[in-house]
Structure 1
Amino acid sequence: MFDGLLTGITLGFFLSFMIGPVFFILIETSITRGFKAAIAFDMGVILADALFFAIAFFSSFRLINAIKDDPALFIFGGIIMLTYGIISFIKLKKVQVQTLQLAPPNLRREYLNLFAKGFLLNFINVGVLGFWLGIIITLGPQMDMNPNKMFTFFGFCILAYFITDLFKIFLAKQLRKKLTPHNILKVKKISSIVIMVFGLVIMIKGVLPKSADNKINIPLPNMENTK
């Protein structure tokens, strides 16, 4: 049990530093909107992770293993991410630099929007589902696929992830004092470009044909002797 918790904590720490759109947008949100705003965004990300973990754990392994490689899902998710990045970038082109300022959200609705942004940005990335499925199939047998052990493992993993993110948010927040309106615009544009790039990458995963040799399949557990 202790080994499982230690594995969860270690995984959560390294998961926090995985480079992706969430990583960059979390930093950007902390710099431009503040500590609480970044936490709201991060909580949305965590909810998506929790949902994917639950889906991967409770659903049919064969079904999820097939879905995670479905090109249509990668293309759909990539299009959404790419479109969001393009729209955000176009909006920034129309923004007057003088009007930009470092201001935290002043309405509860804005925090909810950031929460939803974090959730959707993580949820449309089908690779996250594949990641958690791989974790469950790899580590699940070591925990006898016991729901209590598995969700305790996940809880410590997410706790370590969140605590590490708090340090990232705090460090990024220190840059706020050095940002001018012109630099704020640059940060926001870079974030939009990052989202577009990752959207394209996800789309390419779905568009490029995969041969049987190149396709990565997660080994499925033998279900015949589990009754």
Structure 2
Amino acid sequence: MPGTTRRARHYAALADALSDSYTVHVVERRGRGRSPAQSPDYGLDQEVTDALDVLTETGSRQIFGHSYGGLVALHVALRTDLDRVIAYEPAVSIDGSLPTAWLPRYEQLLAEGRDARAMVYYLHALGFMPSGPVVTAAVWAMQRFTAEGRAIREVLPTVVRELIVAREMESDGGRYATITSPVLLLGGGRSPAYIKEGMPLILATIPNAKLIVTPEFDHNAPDLGDPAAVAELIRA
């Protein structure tokens, strides 16, 4: 299950690295490619239902989710028992751990057609990218002159609804205490502090969970940083 602004193809290397041990199905989540657009009443239940449909259709008994996809994976585990759930830095907000105060300004920038500034603002607010005019100019050029940049630009509006959902799922973590499937939580030592501080809180709420933090990983290890190394942790 891909993260926010991520597409199925971003996990091709991870899927390939796992293919000698597993049959891997990568979901193109809502608002991407030929999948349905995010409807006006979009909510987490739609993503969970989509994931459950894929699990049923394929007979799969494990699910991997990255970031927002990790939040989806955990909520799938609230609906059905699985052999294993693997979540890489899931977008779970416990007692306000996930920053969302930046959302109104982000929406405003998108509404004004300032896509590059919006993307930099969003990634900077979450601790994933430095800010400044040089960075914004580089992102603007990427969005307009590269296929990857244009693809990311297309999904920027989905960020709003997904972060609103993550905020709506805000809790003290107690909701995850009923997960009975084994859960492997993965994280990186180079990720923002709020993620590193939140992971042990998630761990503490899930009865049968294990946490592995790899010092050299950042938030995008599964798709950009080191998919092969992430695959090794999943395979182990």
TM-score (norm 1): 0.29
Q: Which has a greater percent of strand?
A: 2
Higher relative contact order structure (alpha carbons within 8 Å, sequence separation ≥ 6): 1
Bigger Rg, structure 1 or 2: 1
